[in-house]
Structure 1
């Protein structure tokens, strides 16, 4: 059984995370000091070091929590299914855009900072891993790893385009569009080249 963390520990960690994110919204990550983090969080350096070795550990904790929630939202459509029929996937069952929208401030702050490459890579690797481990496709001659790479890059491309655009569309619209994209099988495309 997993041991429950002390409420004071949870509170202090949450305050430190929020302080770092607030500072990252105003300045470059590299320019942020631990002193600034603890002062904004209203804690002391001893409290910081009782939880984290350095500010990179604090950032990793923020990203790890975000990715845990991201993976839960990714799994939502199939977590209680023995066979996941993709063609029957409904827009309402897609929860990943709800997760991103719920954490809009965190994603926006991380996106605008110079740590975004780290976040993108960790999100990609986590989603690729569960896609390959948990979703076994019928053998159709397509390399499963290449299929996972293609699918996850496409999904993350949509997500980050949406975040970069300031959440121009509602999560429900993004869910509907994703379902349409997944089910769209074009057989031809008209060219628009001048002759």
Structure 2
């Protein structure tokens, strides 16, 4: 019973420190945030901070690590329970990626407006690409190169996600889910040009 109380206290203090970091990053760059400010905002002392984290970078790593774990779970949702995953048969409701990001939009907004944005994007992209590599064997018809097809797919997906976040969540998650499924099944024909001769 005592262990549960300690665990809850640890979780509470770590959550307060993470929330304090994001709150401070909403007003200034990560490089300008000090450990003292984090402690004061979270209402904890220096000892508590250093019990959990070696430095503010370790605290940020944990914030990002939790988001990435949730991102991976959301990415896997459409195919988690099936052996053969057919994109053309996937309903929009199976896509959970946008729901996850929207549910954590405050954190994503702060991170996407911060000086650590390049690292955030790289971690998100790398995680999705790694999971796609591990989980999915992309079927392509010759002469399409599987490696190139996957690179194209992952860049397109994450480009769409980044565009949505950077646009301030202009569209609802359900709309983004529907659009993604339509895009995945779209087979473009001719394109009209605006080049004037």
- TM-score w.r.t. length of structure 2: 0.93
Stretches of structure 2 lacking an aligned partner (at least 5 in a row): none
- Output the CA distance in 1 between the equivalents of 2:178 and 2:78: 14
Q: Alpha carbons of 1:185 and 1:139: their partners in 2 closer, same or farther (altered >3 Å)?
A: closer
Runs of at least 4 residues off by over 6 Å: none
> Is the CA contact (8 Å cut-off) linking 2:111 and 2:117 kept in structure 1?
yes
- Output the CA distance in 2 between the equivalents of 1:9 and 1:157: 37
- Output the CA distance in 1 between the equivalents of 2:42 and 2:188: 53
Kindly tell me the number of residue pairs found equivalent between the two proteins: 192
- Output the CA distance in 2 between the equivalents of 1:46 and 1:146: 50
- Output the CA distance in 1 between the equivalents of 2:56 and 2:93: 38
Q: Helix, strand or coil for the counterpart of 2:134?
A: helix
- Output the CA distance in 2 between the equivalents of 1:65 and 1:100: 12
- Output the CA distance in 2 between the equivalents of 1:115 and 1:173: 29
> Is the CA contact (8 Å cut-off) linking 2:139 and 2:146 kept in structure 1?
no
- Output the CA distance in 2 between the equivalents of 1:121 and 1:63: 11
CA deviation after TM superposition for structure 1 residue 144, in Å: 3.0
CA deviation after TM superposition for structure 1 residue 188, in Å: 1.7
Q: Deviations over 1:132-157 (max 9, x none)?
A: 11011225343333222221211111
- Output the CA distance in 2 between the equivalents of 1:62 and 1:149: 27
Q: Helix, strand or coil for the counterpart of 2:137?
A: coil
CA deviation after TM superposition for structure 1 residue 128, in Å: 0.5
Q: Helix, strand or coil for the counterpart of 2:191?
A: coil
Q: Deviations over 1:25-70 (max 9, x none)?
A: 0111111100000110011111111111100000000000000000
> In the alignment, what sits opposite 2:191?
189
- TM-score w.r.t. length of structure 1: 0.94
> In the alignment, what sits opposite 1:144?
146
- Output the CA distance in 2 between the equivalents of 1:139 and 1:175: 23
Alignment of structure 1 residues 57-72 onto 2, 5 Å: 57-72=58-73
Q: Deviations over 1:100-129 (max 9, x none)?
A: 100000000000001011010011111111
Q: CA RMSD in A?
A: 1.4
> In the alignment, what sits opposite 2:178?
176
> Is the CA contact (8 Å cut-off) linking 2:138 and 2:150 kept in structure 1?
no
- Output the CA distance in 2 between the equivalents of 1:10 and 1:143: 46
> In the alignment, what sits opposite 2:167?
165
Alignment of structure 1 residues 1-195 onto 2, 5 Å: 6-141=7-142, 142-195=144-197
Q: Alpha carbons of 1:40 and 1:169: their partners in 2 closer, same or farther (altered >3 Å)?
A: same
